[in-house]
Amino acid sequence: MRRLIVALLLVIPFGPAWAGPVTSFTLDNGMEVVVIEDHRAPAVTQMVWYRAGSADEPPGMSGVAHFLEHLLFKGTETLEPGEFSATVARHGGTDNAFTSYDYTAYFQRIAADRLGLVMEMEADRMANLRLSENDIATERDVILEERNQRVENSPAALFRERMGAVQYLNHPYGAPIIGWRHEMEALDRAAAVDFYSTYYAPNNAILIVAGDADPEEVRALAEKHYGPIPANPDLPERIRPQEPPQLAERRLSLRDPRVSQPYVARSYLAPERDSGAQREAAALTLLAALMGNGQTSVLNEALQFEQSIAVQVGAWYSGMSLDDASLDFVVVPAPGVTLDEAEAALGEVLTGFLETGPDPEHLERIKSQLRAQEIYERDDVTALAQRYGRALTQGLTVADVQAWPDILQEITDEEIMDAARNVLDRERSVTGYLMAPEVTQ
């Protein structure tokens, strides 16, 4: 592995020829366009990202953003339900969509000379969606079944939902992206159409074209297909309810008979990446990697190898959110170790880290891994397109995205320690136990 990283590092000086140039511009109707060139294969990825996700839903209508994502595959004035994806497939392409807290995105991967075709269809469903009551009823069953499979059938998913709901006291990130089941059941045509007409407009969308495309050709095609769609003059400001000061440490226990492997999770409210101010988020990214990434992570070394307390550990931070993010830890205890013991051991490792700070060699290794990851991702235009789309829907700019890899490399151990001291505050934390019910006689 080490050898591979070195090899990749050696490649860098020869230039990131495959990654691009990245060109961006804005249409007259406010639609942002980002073109990521990659001419190695005659294929292109189109993504349209809307600055509208589950955290933008009206109260009581959780799930409507994701519901609408499903409904976009129904018909328009000129396309029959299902015809969009069938057309893409007939031309040898693939398409899909996804929804998160801050965005909903649609994409197709197709032969480069079919870009106009997918733009025409994507522009069509941005403006001309037609939803019958039958579409609504059918697709509501689909999303409810999706929730069954992904959430109700998974104690871990139910647990994550409740962790989120207790982490966020006021912010809509406390509700699941897929929606609370009882609210999903009540989603109707009016709810979907309201969300659509509020948020699906060119001045709330970002078009990303990645692959074998020329920026000027993309501009001409975008002007032709998206240009005629008028901006929504009533697009609401994107202001969500924010958290009050988090003053009280929280805990929760979810007991479910289906749990065979209990574990403890700890989540700390953490700042997100902000445009022009990404250093703390970069420090937290490194902190999470130091703590939980790979065999030599701090948690792994202490809890798995030295003490045999855990069979698995993890640490995550993603500052890719418009509002407050979280820094998360998980410890899956070894057989015979209680959740209390696992939690205490996690606490000791965190306390110890706050005293000693990162090992310089370890930090250097993490930075090398991030450089390598960066290089891998440059090879994948769809991953690059996702990176820009996610960033631009959370208030970052193309320049922020491009600065990020260097910022990660610049972060000092002092900055990591400052970020850790700031974020590892129990008052802003939730500790959760997922476990089987106690056996009672």
Footprint of a second copy on this chain (CB under 8 A)?
A: 58-60, 62, 158-159, 161-162, 165-166, 169-170, 172, 174-175, 180-183, 239-242, 244, 247-256, 427, 432
Task: Tell me which of 37, 57, 69, 280 is the catalytic residue.
Answer: 69
CB 169, min distance to a second copy, A: 4
d(CA 19, CA 252): 45
Angle made by CA atoms 260, 264, 270, in degrees to the nearest 5:
140
- The residue among 63 and 319 lying less far from a second copy, judged by its C-beta, is 63
Question: How many Cα atoms within 13 Å fall on the side-chain side of residue 176?
Answer: 19
Give the separation between CA 342 and CA 348, rounded to whole angstroms: 10
- The minimum distance between CB 162 and a second copy, in angstroms, equals 4
- Which residue lies nearer to a second copy by CB, 15 or 59? 59
Q: Any residues with CB less than 8 A from the CB of 326 and at least 6 apart, and which? A: 167, 267, 268, 269, 270, 317
The separation between CA 64 and the C-alpha centre of its own chain, rounded to angstroms, equals: 18
| Cα gap 47→97, rounded to integer Å | 9
Residue 81 or 172: which CB sits closer to a second copy?
172
Nearer to a second copy, 158 or 334 (CB): 158
H helix or E strand, kind and range, residue 109: strand 104-111
- Rounded distance between C-alpha atoms, residue 376 and residue 368, angstroms: 12
**DSSP-derived 3-state class of residue 298:** helix
Token pair recorded at residue 114: 């079919």
Is 69 a known active-site residue? yes
Judged by beta carbon, residue 339 or residue 392, the one nearer a second copy is 339
Least Å distance, CB 252 to a second copy, is 4
What is the Cα Rg of the chain in Å?
23
Least separation in angstroms between CB 154 and a second copy: 12
CB of 270 to a second copy, least distance (A): 18
Residues annotated as catalytic (active site), given as ranges: 69
